Structure 1
Amino acid sequence: MTMAMDPLALDMDRSVDQQLRRFSYTDAAHGKELYSFYGNRVIEHVTASGTTVAIKVKTPDAMDSTEADMMHHAATNNILAPKVLTFYDIVVNKSIARAMVSERVPGVPLSDVWNDYDEDQQEHVKDQLRAQLARMRQVTQPYIGRVDRQPTRNMFDRTQNSTCGPFATEKEFDRWCLGHVAAKPLARLRWRLALRHMRKDPSTKTNKNNNNGRKNSKASANSDFDRRQRFVLTHGDLTPRNIMVDGTTLTGIVDWERSGFYPEYAEYAFAMVLCHEHEKWWIPVLKDILDPCPEQRLTFTRLVEDNYPY
């Protein structure tokens, strides 16, 4: 027997369908908005069990699951980062949003309160940040990339969420970077030699006056250095908006979107050259808490970004 559909029910179905078709990623989660900046939207949500969580929502092409992998890896290695609870796509008639649910870090962004601190309070917060950065340098991998040898965010691409890597050695990474620089052959050769010098193992020197008449092989030494290199956990976007405090107590570092395992110079170079949203007052603080890298490395990082196609 064929049953006639209720016209009112049909109208309601059409209305719901039309609403769903107009859904965007901003409609995908509801609650108190904690953060909204350049497409990053973070919502505070209380679960049925009473647990307060943070939900980061972006368009499907703007957030990768490896960001969740990196943030959770940091949190489970004694870094003050929120643990990830789940990661999923929100699908209506197509995937409209991607969501990452994590612990809700207590406190407020450092950017909201820094200017209210006196000098001693600022130094106290900086000491805590130095301690976190020291811990991050102890979390390493033998490659440049993300957890489980996954590609990492292409830090030089300002407009697209493209990836690069993984790279087995710093030499491979430098070669990839140099490949994006439009330079004449002589200038390219000079940079290749400069990068080789910057990569040189400081503990390895050629012994020119060996009593046995033997010389260390530079090529062999550099090859051994490449094989034993360890790359450190790098946040990649240490803006004060991503640093949470409760009073003067550091409670967490959030937004690991640009994170990866990189050479030790990377945190400083990325902060000084590639993070264009940093507040001007924050740059001297970063210079105070981060280990600097050679000026030539900063110049090369800037050169790669300036030459990267947009």
Structure 2
Amino acid sequence: MRFIRENTNIPVPEVYDAYTDDETGHVCIVMEKVEGQTLHEAWPSYNDADKETVVQQLRGYFNELRRLKSPIISCTDGSPCDDQYFDDDIGGYGPYTTEESFNQGLVRAWTKGREDDALIRFLCRTLLHNMQGHEFVMTHNDFAPRNFLVRASQVVAILDWELSGYFPEYWEFAKAIWRPDWDSPWMKDDLVERVLDPYYQQASVILNTSYTIW
């Protein structure tokens, strides 16, 4: 969050301290408390004008985020990727210097223990064939209204940056539509597609593969 605060105009809480708890091994963050309610809570009460105001703010912030680019795919600090699509082998995926090697990492994670499954191997070949030629941009990697704090129709903070990093440009969109609540008011209002540039083909490949595996 300090990196985002120092390099963008995106509203994030100020971080006062970060440390590892000696007893649990958990990383703890002491940060500013920002007053507001989550967009998940507020969205149903908005009229159309309020919704559009929030959409335009979020779109501006995510466009600003995407202007931060990297020659590698990694966490924000250049360390290995941290993402739900990878397994629990922390530190075992990346950083990647090419999109091809990132795709190979996904395939390795998704086929682990299922190398003989012909359908999964076919879907992974589809991924390897289609996912090429993307820029590596800063990605929040957990786009969800529960992570956006608002007061009235003003976005006052974007939270939960622990999975952020540099990923292929389609990644934010593909992850945002990975298992959301499709019956929620914000999904029915197409919030993801209104805020983020859509990458339908790439999202289709990722979702089809991941849904089949899981």
Instruction: Tell me if the contact between 1:140 and 1:232 (Cα under 8 Å) persists in the aligned partners.
Output: yes
The yes-or-no answer on 1:148 pairing with 2:77 is yes
Specify the alignment match of 2:132 in structure 1.
199
Distance 2:38 2:150 in 1: 6
Distance 2:182 2:195 in 1: 15
Distance 1:280 1:107 in 2: 20
Specify the alignment match of 2:184 in structure 1.
280
Give secondary structure in 2 for the equivalent of 1:149.
coil
The yes-or-no answer on 1:254 pairing with 2:171 is no
Specify the alignment match of 2:168 in structure 1.
263
Q: Could you state the TM-score of these two structures normalised by the residue count of structure 2?
A: 0.81
The yes-or-no answer on 1:233 pairing with 2:162 is no
Percentage of identical aligned residues: 28
Higher strand share: 1
Distance 1:295 1:138 in 2: 22
Change (3 A) 1:177 1:301: farther
Instruction: Tell me if the contact between 2:34 and 2:156 (Cα under 8 Å) persists in the aligned partners.
Output: yes
Distance 1:197 1:230 in 2: 14
Specify the alignment match of 2:102 in structure 1.
173
Instruction: Tell me if the contact between 1:76 and 1:83 (Cα under 8 Å) persists in the aligned partners.
Output: no
Specify the alignment match of 1:15 in structure 2.
none
1:176-207 Cα deviation digits (max 9, x unpaired): 1123234539964x85466344414xxxxxxx
Instruction: Tell me if the contact between 2:120 and 2:213 (Cα under 8 Å) persists in the aligned partners.
Output: no
Instruction: Tell me if the contact between 1:156 and 1:305 (Cα under 8 Å) persists in the aligned partners.
Output: no
Unaligned runs of 5+ in 1: 1-70, 201-228
Structural RMSD (CA): 2.8
Change (3 A) 1:139 1:307: same
Instruction: Tell me if the contact between 2:43 and 2:186 (Cα under 8 Å) persists in the aligned partners.
Output: no
1:8-28 Cα deviation digits (max 9, x unpaired): xxxxxxxxxxxxxxxxxxxxx
Instruction: Tell me if the contact between 2:140 and 2:161 (Cα under 8 Å) persists in the aligned partners.
Output: yes
Specify the alignment match of 2:206 in structure 1.
300
Q: 2:118 aligns with which of 165, 181, 184?
A: 184
Q: 1:86 aligns with which of 12, 17, 27?
A: 17
Instruction: Tell me if the contact between 1:154 and 1:161 (Cα under 8 Å) persists in the aligned partners.
Output: no
Q: How many matched pairs? A: 205
Instruction: Tell me if the contact between 1:153 and 1:161 (Cα under 8 Å) persists in the aligned partners.
Output: no
C-alpha displacement of 1:105: 2.4
Give secondary structure in 1 for the equivalent of 2:106.
helix
Instruction: Tell me if the contact between 2:74 and 2:80 (Cα under 8 Å) persists in the aligned partners.
Output: yes
Specify the alignment match of 2:53 in structure 1.
124
Distance 1:98 1:126 in 2: 32
C-alpha displacement of 1:149: 1.5
Distance 1:87 1:134 in 2: 28
